[in-house]
Chains A and B, each alone.
Chain A
Protein backbone atom coordinates (compact mmCIF):
# COMPACT_ATOMS: atom_id res chain seq x y z
CA UNK A 1 0.00 0.00 0.00
CA UNK A 2 1.42 3.36 -0.98
CA UNK A 3 0.62 6.50 0.90
CA UNK A 4 -1.81 8.45 -1.20
CA UNK A 5 -1.71 11.56 0.96
CA UNK A 6 1.12 14.03 1.36
CA UNK A 7 3.08 14.19 4.58
CA UNK A 8 1.06 17.05 6.02
CA UNK A 9 -2.24 15.27 5.45
CA UNK A 10 -0.93 12.03 6.95
CA UNK A 11 0.27 13.88 10.04
CA UNK A 12 -3.13 15.57 10.20
CA UNK A 13 -4.84 12.16 9.98
CA UNK A 14 -2.78 10.84 12.90
CA UNK A 15 -3.49 13.95 14.95
CA UNK A 16 -7.20 13.70 14.16
CA UNK A 17 -7.20 10.11 15.44
CA UNK A 18 -5.32 11.17 18.58
CA UNK A 19 -7.86 13.92 19.24
CA UNK A 20 -10.87 11.72 18.44
CA UNK A 21 -9.68 8.17 19.03
CA UNK A 22 -11.90 5.40 17.67
CA UNK A 23 -13.11 2.56 19.87
CA UNK A 24 -11.09 3.80 22.83
CA UNK A 25 -12.09 2.74 26.31
CA UNK A 26 -11.99 -0.25 28.63
CA UNK A 27 -14.38 -3.14 27.91
CA UNK A 28 -15.82 -4.97 30.88
CA UNK A 29 -17.06 -7.91 28.85
CA UNK A 30 -13.63 -8.55 27.27
CA UNK A 31 -12.49 -12.17 27.08
CA UNK A 32 -8.86 -11.09 27.16
CA UNK A 33 -7.10 -7.89 28.23
CA UNK A 34 -3.55 -7.58 26.95
CA UNK A 35 -1.07 -4.77 27.64
CA UNK A 36 1.76 -3.86 25.31
CA UNK A 37 4.60 -1.38 25.01
CA UNK A 38 6.23 0.68 27.69
CA UNK A 39 4.58 3.63 29.39
CA UNK A 40 8.00 5.25 29.77
CA UNK A 41 9.19 4.82 26.22
CA UNK A 42 7.15 5.50 23.10
CA UNK A 43 3.83 4.46 24.47
CA UNK A 44 1.70 1.73 25.92
CA UNK A 45 -1.64 0.30 24.93
CA UNK A 46 -4.03 -2.17 26.46
CA UNK A 47 -6.25 -4.13 24.10
CA UNK A 48 -9.69 -5.42 25.14
CA UNK A 49 -10.94 -8.22 22.95
CA UNK A 50 -14.25 -10.01 23.01
CA UNK A 51 -14.64 -12.86 20.54
CA UNK A 52 -17.86 -13.95 18.85
CA UNK A 53 -17.05 -17.61 19.47
CA UNK A 54 -16.83 -18.23 15.76
CA UNK A 55 -13.42 -16.92 14.79
CA UNK A 56 -14.61 -13.35 14.57
CA UNK A 57 -14.51 -10.25 16.76
CA UNK A 58 -17.52 -9.24 18.81
CA UNK A 59 -15.97 -6.11 20.30
CA UNK A 60 -12.48 -4.63 20.15
CA UNK A 61 -11.44 -1.60 22.20
CA UNK A 62 -8.21 -0.13 23.52
CA UNK A 63 -6.77 2.31 26.01
CA UNK A 64 -3.31 3.77 26.11
CA UNK A 65 -1.01 6.71 26.21
CA UNK A 66 1.95 7.67 24.12
CA UNK A 67 3.13 9.73 21.23
CA UNK A 68 1.15 10.78 18.17
CA UNK A 69 2.52 7.95 16.02
CA UNK A 70 1.70 5.16 18.48
CA UNK A 71 -1.72 6.45 19.55
CA UNK A 72 -2.79 7.62 16.10
CA UNK A 73 -1.76 4.40 14.38
CA UNK A 74 -3.45 2.26 17.05
CA UNK A 75 -6.72 4.13 16.51
CA UNK A 76 -6.39 3.81 12.71
CA UNK A 77 -5.68 0.07 12.91
CA UNK A 78 -8.51 -0.68 15.35
CA UNK A 79 -10.90 1.38 13.26
CA UNK A 80 -9.98 -0.59 10.16
CA UNK A 81 -10.31 -3.98 11.87
CA UNK A 82 -13.74 -3.09 13.22
CA UNK A 83 -15.13 -1.43 10.11
CA UNK A 84 -13.89 -4.17 7.77
CA UNK A 85 -14.99 -6.86 10.24
CA UNK A 86 -11.69 -8.71 10.02
CA UNK A 87 -11.65 -12.21 11.46
CA UNK A 88 -9.04 -13.27 14.00
CA UNK A 89 -7.08 -15.17 11.38
CA UNK A 90 -7.16 -12.15 9.12
CA UNK A 91 -5.84 -10.00 11.95
CA UNK A 92 -2.95 -12.41 12.52
CA UNK A 93 -2.14 -12.21 8.82
CA UNK A 94 -2.06 -8.40 8.83
CA UNK A 95 1.28 -7.06 7.67
CA UNK A 96 3.18 -4.63 9.89
CA UNK A 97 4.81 -3.12 6.83
CA UNK A 98 1.40 -2.10 5.51
CA UNK A 99 0.79 -0.02 8.62
CA UNK A 100 4.15 1.62 8.16
CA UNK A 101 3.40 2.33 4.52
CA UNK A 102 -0.03 3.72 5.30
CA UNK A 103 1.36 6.27 7.75
CA UNK A 104 4.45 6.76 5.64
CA UNK A 105 8.07 5.83 6.03
CA UNK A 106 9.03 9.50 5.82
CA UNK A 107 7.19 10.04 9.10
CA UNK A 108 8.04 6.79 10.84
CA UNK A 109 11.67 6.36 9.81
CA UNK A 110 13.27 4.58 12.79
CA UNK A 111 10.17 4.63 14.98
CA UNK A 112 8.60 1.52 13.51
CA UNK A 113 7.92 0.06 16.93
CA UNK A 114 5.71 3.05 17.75
CA UNK A 115 3.71 2.60 14.54
CA UNK A 116 3.17 -1.12 15.04
CA UNK A 117 2.51 -1.06 18.80
CA UNK A 118 -1.26 -1.21 18.31
CA UNK A 119 -1.28 -4.03 15.76
CA UNK A 120 1.30 -6.09 17.66
CA UNK A 121 -0.71 -5.84 20.86
CA UNK A 122 -3.95 -6.73 19.04
CA UNK A 123 -2.23 -9.79 17.56
CA UNK A 124 -1.00 -10.76 21.03
CA UNK A 125 -4.59 -10.43 22.29
CA UNK A 126 -5.89 -12.63 19.47
CA UNK A 127 -3.27 -15.29 20.22
CA UNK A 128 -4.13 -15.18 23.89
CA UNK A 129 -7.84 -15.47 23.07
CA UNK A 130 -7.26 -18.46 20.82
CA UNK A 131 -5.12 -20.14 23.48
CA UNK A 132 -7.81 -19.51 26.07
CA UNK A 133 -10.51 -20.98 23.83
CA UNK A 134 -8.38 -24.06 23.15
CA UNK A 135 -7.73 -24.71 26.81
CA UNK A 136 -11.19 -23.92 28.20
CA UNK A 137 -13.50 -25.44 25.62
CA UNK A 138 -13.95 -29.16 25.32
CA UNK A 139 -12.91 -30.55 22.00
CA UNK A 140 -15.94 -31.25 19.86
CA UNK A 141 -14.20 -32.63 16.84
CA UNK A 142 -13.72 -36.34 16.78
Chain B
Protein backbone atom coordinates (compact mmCIF):
# COMPACT_ATOMS: atom_id res chain seq x y z
CA UNK B 1 0.00 0.00 0.00
CA UNK B 2 1.33 3.34 -1.03
CA UNK B 3 1.59 6.15 1.47
CA UNK B 4 0.31 9.42 0.18
CA UNK B 5 0.74 12.88 1.48
CA UNK B 6 -2.98 13.55 1.61
CA UNK B 7 -3.93 10.32 3.29
CA UNK B 8 -6.14 10.62 6.29
CA UNK B 9 -4.14 11.53 9.31
CA UNK B 10 -6.79 10.30 11.71
CA UNK B 11 -6.21 7.20 13.76
CA UNK B 12 -6.43 4.00 11.81
CA UNK B 13 -9.92 2.64 12.01
CA UNK B 14 -9.63 0.07 9.27
CA UNK B 15 -11.89 -2.83 9.93
CA UNK B 16 -11.66 -6.35 8.68
CA UNK B 17 -14.61 -6.23 6.29
CA UNK B 18 -13.19 -3.14 4.60
CA UNK B 19 -9.61 -4.41 4.81
CA UNK B 20 -10.67 -7.57 3.00
CA UNK B 21 -11.77 -5.58 -0.03
CA UNK B 22 -8.15 -4.83 -0.82
CA UNK B 23 -8.23 -1.06 -1.29
CA UNK B 24 -5.16 1.12 -1.67
CA UNK B 25 -6.46 3.35 1.14
CA UNK B 26 -8.80 1.29 3.31
CA UNK B 27 -8.80 4.07 5.93
CA UNK B 28 -10.93 6.13 3.57
CA UNK B 29 -13.94 4.02 4.55
CA UNK B 30 -15.62 3.17 7.83
CA UNK B 31 -18.43 0.70 8.36
CA UNK B 32 -21.89 1.50 9.68
CA UNK B 33 -20.92 -0.43 12.82
CA UNK B 34 -17.90 1.77 13.34
CA UNK B 35 -20.07 4.87 13.03
CA UNK B 36 -22.59 3.40 15.50
CA UNK B 37 -19.74 2.78 17.94
CA UNK B 38 -18.41 6.32 17.60
CA UNK B 39 -21.58 8.42 17.59
CA UNK B 40 -20.66 10.16 20.79
CA UNK B 41 -17.05 10.89 19.96
CA UNK B 42 -18.04 14.30 18.72
CA UNK B 43 -14.80 15.91 19.80
CA UNK B 44 -12.73 14.05 17.21
CA UNK B 45 -15.29 13.12 14.60
CA UNK B 46 -18.08 14.91 12.81
CA UNK B 47 -20.62 12.90 10.90
CA UNK B 48 -21.93 14.79 7.88
CA UNK B 49 -25.01 13.80 5.89
CA UNK B 50 -25.07 15.03 2.29
CA UNK B 51 -27.98 13.99 0.13
CA UNK B 52 -29.53 14.63 -3.20
CA UNK B 53 -32.91 14.47 -1.49
CA UNK B 54 -32.50 17.43 0.80
CA UNK B 55 -35.43 16.59 3.07
CA UNK B 56 -34.15 13.17 4.11
CA UNK B 57 -32.15 14.69 6.95
CA UNK B 58 -35.34 16.34 8.27
CA UNK B 59 -37.23 13.07 8.48
CA UNK B 60 -34.43 11.19 10.20
CA UNK B 61 -30.65 11.03 10.32
CA UNK B 62 -27.76 9.35 12.08
CA UNK B 63 -27.64 10.71 15.65
CA UNK B 64 -25.20 13.58 16.08
CA UNK B 65 -24.83 14.07 12.35
CA UNK B 66 -25.02 17.49 10.73
CA UNK B 67 -26.35 18.29 7.27
CA UNK B 68 -24.35 19.89 4.51
CA UNK B 69 -26.38 20.59 1.41
CA UNK B 70 -24.45 20.79 -1.84
CA UNK B 71 -26.89 23.30 -3.34
CA UNK B 72 -27.17 25.72 -0.46
CA UNK B 73 -23.90 25.24 1.39
CA UNK B 74 -21.18 24.34 -1.10
CA UNK B 75 -21.90 26.54 -4.09
CA UNK B 76 -21.25 30.20 -4.66
CA UNK B 77 -24.73 31.73 -4.81
CA UNK B 78 -23.93 33.90 -7.84
CA UNK B 79 -21.03 32.69 -9.94
CA UNK B 80 -20.80 29.08 -11.12
CA UNK B 81 -18.13 27.97 -8.68
CA UNK B 82 -17.73 26.49 -5.23
CA UNK B 83 -17.88 28.61 -2.12
CA UNK B 84 -14.88 30.76 -1.32
CA UNK B 85 -12.39 30.04 1.49
CA UNK B 86 -13.99 32.50 3.91
CA UNK B 87 -17.39 30.90 3.53
CA UNK B 88 -15.89 27.43 3.82
CA UNK B 89 -14.16 28.36 7.07
CA UNK B 90 -17.41 29.81 8.38
CA UNK B 91 -19.37 26.71 7.38
CA UNK B 92 -16.85 24.53 9.19
CA UNK B 93 -16.99 26.70 12.28
CA UNK B 94 -20.81 26.55 12.31
CA UNK B 95 -20.82 22.77 12.07
CA UNK B 96 -18.25 22.49 14.84
CA UNK B 97 -15.58 21.16 12.51
CA UNK B 98 -11.98 22.14 13.24
CA UNK B 99 -9.07 21.66 10.82
CA UNK B 100 -8.14 18.41 12.59
CA UNK B 101 -11.65 17.02 12.94
CA UNK B 102 -12.10 13.80 11.00
CA UNK B 103 -15.24 14.14 8.91
CA UNK B 104 -17.28 11.03 8.16
CA UNK B 105 -19.54 11.55 5.14
CA UNK B 106 -22.64 9.55 4.33
CA UNK B 107 -25.69 10.12 2.19
CA UNK B 108 -28.38 8.83 -0.11
CA UNK B 109 -27.97 7.31 -3.57
CA UNK B 110 -24.88 5.22 -2.83
CA UNK B 111 -23.03 8.10 -1.22
CA UNK B 112 -23.13 10.07 -4.46
CA UNK B 113 -23.49 13.46 -2.73
CA UNK B 114 -21.37 12.39 0.21
CA UNK B 115 -18.38 11.93 -2.09
CA UNK B 116 -19.20 15.21 -3.80
CA UNK B 117 -19.05 17.05 -0.47
CA UNK B 118 -15.85 15.17 0.38
CA UNK B 119 -14.30 16.32 -2.90
CA UNK B 120 -15.17 19.95 -2.11
CA UNK B 121 -13.65 19.55 1.38
CA UNK B 122 -10.48 18.31 -0.28
CA UNK B 123 -10.32 21.40 -2.51
CA UNK B 124 -9.90 23.33 0.73
CA UNK B 125 -7.24 20.98 2.01
CA UNK B 126 -9.39 19.23 4.60
CA UNK B 127 -7.70 15.86 4.50
CA UNK B 128 -9.18 13.95 7.41
CA UNK B 129 -12.15 12.64 5.50
CA UNK B 130 -13.85 9.28 5.33
CA UNK B 131 -16.99 7.78 3.87
CA UNK B 132 -19.41 5.47 5.67
CA UNK B 133 -19.46 2.42 3.41
CA UNK B 134 -23.01 1.68 2.32
CA UNK B 135 -24.28 5.16 3.13
CA UNK B 136 -27.73 5.99 4.36
CA UNK B 137 -29.45 3.04 2.74
CA UNK B 138 -27.31 0.50 4.61
CA UNK B 139 -27.74 2.29 7.93
CA UNK B 140 -31.51 2.21 7.43
CA UNK B 141 -31.56 -1.38 6.19
CA UNK B 142 -29.76 -2.45 9.34
CA UNK B 143 -32.45 -0.83 11.43
CA UNK B 144 -30.02 1.47 13.17
CA UNK B 145 -31.04 4.42 15.27
CA UNK B 146 -32.23 7.55 13.48
CA UNK B 147 -33.34 10.83 14.95
CA UNK B 148 -34.90 14.14 13.95
CA UNK B 149 -32.91 15.96 16.62
CA UNK B 150 -30.49 18.45 15.13
CA UNK B 151 -27.35 18.50 17.26
CA UNK B 152 -25.57 21.71 18.08
CA UNK B 153 -21.86 21.82 18.63
CA UNK B 154 -19.69 24.61 19.97
CA UNK B 155 -18.49 26.89 17.21
CA UNK B 156 -15.07 25.70 16.04
CA UNK B 157 -12.02 27.68 15.10
CA UNK B 158 -11.29 27.10 11.44
CA UNK B 159 -8.54 29.24 9.89
CA UNK B 160 -9.42 30.46 6.41
CA UNK B 161 -7.82 27.88 4.10
CA UNK B 162 -6.52 28.24 0.56
CA UNK B 163 -8.46 26.49 -2.12
CA UNK B 164 -6.29 24.41 -4.43
CA UNK B 165 -8.06 23.90 -7.76
CA UNK B 166 -5.03 22.42 -9.50
CA UNK B 167 -4.70 18.88 -8.24
CA UNK B 168 -8.14 17.34 -8.19
CA UNK B 169 -10.18 19.74 -10.30
CA UNK B 170 -10.06 20.16 -14.07
CA UNK B 171 -11.24 23.15 -16.05
CA UNK B 172 -12.19 23.31 -19.73
CA UNK B 173 -8.63 24.33 -20.67
CA UNK B 174 -7.28 21.28 -18.87
CA UNK B 175 -9.61 19.06 -20.87
CA UNK B 176 -8.41 20.73 -24.10
CA UNK B 177 -4.80 19.93 -23.19
CA UNK B 178 -5.84 16.45 -22.21
CA UNK B 179 -7.42 15.89 -25.63
CA UNK B 180 -4.19 17.05 -27.33
CA UNK B 181 -2.29 14.19 -25.71
CA UNK B 182 -5.19 11.71 -25.93
CA UNK B 183 -5.31 11.44 -22.15
CA UNK B 184 -7.83 9.06 -20.61
CA UNK B 185 -11.29 10.46 -19.89
CA UNK B 186 -14.13 8.72 -18.14
CA UNK B 187 -17.72 9.78 -18.66
CA UNK B 188 -19.73 8.49 -15.72
CA UNK B 189 -23.21 9.39 -16.96
CA UNK B 190 -25.83 6.90 -18.09
CA UNK B 191 -25.35 5.26 -21.50
CA UNK B 192 -28.27 7.31 -22.87
CA UNK B 193 -26.63 10.59 -21.90
CA UNK B 194 -23.27 9.37 -23.19
CA UNK B 195 -24.73 8.46 -26.57
CA UNK B 196 -26.53 11.79 -26.81
CA UNK B 197 -30.01 10.28 -26.95
CA UNK B 198 -32.73 12.62 -25.86
CA UNK B 199 -33.90 12.25 -22.29
CA UNK B 200 -36.08 15.27 -21.92
CA UNK B 201 -39.45 16.77 -22.63
CA UNK B 202 -39.92 17.59 -26.30
CA UNK B 203 -40.44 21.28 -25.47
CA UNK B 204 -37.37 21.61 -23.32
CA UNK B 205 -33.68 21.74 -24.16
CA UNK B 206 -31.60 18.82 -23.07
CA UNK B 207 -31.15 19.18 -19.32
CA UNK B 208 -28.94 22.22 -19.47
CA UNK B 209 -26.94 21.42 -22.61
CA UNK B 210 -27.64 22.31 -26.22
CA UNK B 211 -25.84 19.29 -27.67
CA UNK B 212 -25.81 15.66 -26.60
CA UNK B 213 -22.98 13.17 -26.77
CA UNK B 214 -19.63 12.85 -25.06
CA UNK B 215 -16.11 14.25 -25.13
CA UNK B 216 -14.15 12.42 -27.87
CA UNK B 217 -12.34 9.35 -26.61
CA UNK B 218 -14.08 9.19 -23.25
CA UNK B 219 -14.90 5.75 -21.88
CA UNK B 220 -18.38 5.30 -20.42
CA UNK B 221 -18.57 3.84 -16.93
CA UNK B 222 -21.79 4.83 -15.16
CA UNK B 223 -20.79 5.90 -11.67
CA UNK B 224 -23.07 3.51 -9.78
CA UNK B 225 -21.29 0.50 -11.21
CA UNK B 226 -18.76 1.03 -8.41
CA UNK B 227 -21.25 -0.06 -5.75
CA UNK B 228 -23.01 -3.24 -4.75
CA UNK B 229 -26.72 -3.63 -4.23
CA UNK B 230 -26.44 -2.95 -0.50
CA UNK B 231 -24.79 0.39 -1.24
CA UNK B 232 -21.25 -0.63 -0.26
CA UNK B 233 -18.35 -0.22 -2.62
CA UNK B 234 -17.24 -3.18 -4.70
CA UNK B 235 -13.88 -4.78 -3.89
CA UNK B 236 -10.67 -3.44 -5.39
CA UNK B 237 -10.49 -6.45 -7.72
CA UNK B 238 -14.01 -5.86 -8.97
CA UNK B 239 -13.32 -2.15 -9.42
CA UNK B 240 -10.12 -2.84 -11.34
CA UNK B 241 -12.06 -5.20 -13.57
CA UNK B 242 -14.42 -2.37 -14.47
CA UNK B 243 -12.13 0.66 -14.67
CA UNK B 244 -9.01 -1.07 -15.97
CA UNK B 245 -10.34 -4.21 -17.64
CA UNK B 246 -13.31 -2.61 -19.37
CA UNK B 247 -12.52 1.11 -19.56
CA UNK B 248 -8.78 0.76 -20.08
CA UNK B 249 -7.67 3.15 -17.34
CA UNK B 250 -4.46 2.53 -15.48
CA UNK B 251 -2.77 3.91 -12.40
CA UNK B 252 -0.02 6.38 -13.18
CA UNK B 253 -2.05 7.97 -15.92
CA UNK B 254 -3.60 11.37 -15.62
CA UNK B 255 -7.36 10.69 -15.58
CA UNK B 256 -10.18 13.19 -15.95
CA UNK B 257 -13.72 12.22 -14.91
CA UNK B 258 -16.87 14.13 -15.76
CA UNK B 259 -20.66 13.86 -15.78
CA UNK B 260 -23.32 16.58 -16.07
CA UNK B 261 -22.26 19.04 -13.38
CA UNK B 262 -19.43 17.16 -11.68
CA UNK B 263 -21.37 15.44 -8.90
CA UNK B 264 -21.55 11.86 -10.14
CA UNK B 265 -17.94 12.09 -11.31
CA UNK B 266 -16.78 13.04 -7.83
CA UNK B 267 -17.98 9.57 -6.79
CA UNK B 268 -15.78 8.01 -9.47
CA UNK B 269 -12.96 10.37 -8.48
CA UNK B 270 -13.24 8.99 -4.93
CA UNK B 271 -13.18 5.41 -6.16
CA UNK B 272 -10.15 5.90 -8.39
CA UNK B 273 -8.19 8.14 -5.98
CA UNK B 274 -8.89 6.53 -2.65
CA UNK B 275 -9.99 2.97 -3.26
CA UNK B 276 -7.70 2.19 -6.20
CA UNK B 277 -5.00 4.66 -5.17
CA UNK B 278 -4.61 6.52 -8.46
CA UNK B 279 -2.34 9.53 -7.99
CA UNK B 280 -3.66 11.87 -10.66
CA UNK B 281 -7.41 12.00 -11.03
CA UNK B 282 -9.20 15.25 -11.66
CA UNK B 283 -12.90 15.97 -11.65
CA UNK B 284 -14.07 18.20 -14.50
CA UNK B 285 -16.98 19.88 -12.72
CA UNK B 286 -17.93 22.02 -15.72
CA UNK B 287 -18.83 18.66 -17.21
CA UNK B 288 -21.52 18.25 -19.85
CA UNK B 289 -23.42 21.42 -18.95
CA UNK B 290 -20.29 23.31 -19.98
CA UNK B 291 -18.93 21.13 -22.77
CA UNK B 292 -22.29 20.50 -24.44
CA UNK B 293 -22.86 24.25 -24.69
CA UNK B 294 -19.40 25.32 -25.85
CA UNK B 295 -19.15 26.62 -29.39
CA UNK B 296 -16.96 24.29 -31.45
CA UNK B 297 -16.14 21.91 -28.64
CA UNK B 298 -15.65 18.52 -30.31
CA UNK B 299 -18.32 15.94 -29.56
CA UNK B 300 -18.65 12.25 -30.26
CA UNK B 301 -21.85 10.24 -30.31
Contacts and interface: CB of A to CB of B under 8 A. Distances in A.
B190 interface: yes
Interface string B41-61: 000000000001111101100
Q: How large is the interface on A (under 10, 10 to 19, 20 to 34, 35 or more residues)?
A: 20 to 34
A24 B258 CA distance: 35
B199 A38 contact: yes
B260 A40 contact: yes
A56 interface: no
Contact of B59 (A11, A69, A111): A11
Interface string B247-263: 00000000000001000
Interface string A86-130: 000000000000000000000101110000000001001001100
Contacts of B55: 11, 14-15, 67-69, 107
B20 interface: no
Contacts of A36: 200-201, 204
Contacts of B169: none
Contacts of B17: none
Interface in B197-246: 199-204, 207
Nearest to A39: B199
SS class of chain B's interface: helix, strand, loop or mixed?
loop
B196 to A, nearest CB: 14
A1 to B, nearest CB: 20
Contact of B203 (A11, A68, A124): A124
B283 to A, nearest CB: 17
B59 A15 contact: yes
SS class of chain A's interface: helix, strand, loop or mixed?
mixed
A67 B54 contact: yes
Contacts of A124: 201-204
B72 A109 contact: yes
A57 interface: no
A109 B71 contact: yes
Contact of A111 (B54, B189, B201, B264): B54
Nearest to B203: A124
Contact of A67 (B52, B203, B204, B260): B52
A30 interface: no
Interface string B65-82: 000000110000000000
B127 interface: no
Given A124-B201, A127-B203, 20 more contacts: A11-B55, A11-B58, A36-B201, A36-B204, A37-B201, A38-B207, A40-B193, A40-B264, A41-B207, A42-B52, A67-B53, A67-B54, A68-B54, A68-B56, A107-B55, A109-B71, A109-B72, A111-B54, A111-B71, A124-B203
Q: 7 smallest A-B Cβ distances: which pairs?
A: A67-B53, A68-B55, A36-B201, A38-B207, A110-B71, A11-B58, A124-B201
20 contacts: A36-B200, A36-B201, A37-B201, A38-B199, A38-B200, A38-B207, A40-B264, A41-B260, A67-B53, A68-B54, A68-B56, A68-B59, A69-B53, A69-B54, A107-B55, A109-B72, A110-B71, A110-B72, A111-B71, A127-B203
Interface of A: 8, 11, 14-15, 34-42, 67-69, 107, 109-111, 121, 124, 127-128
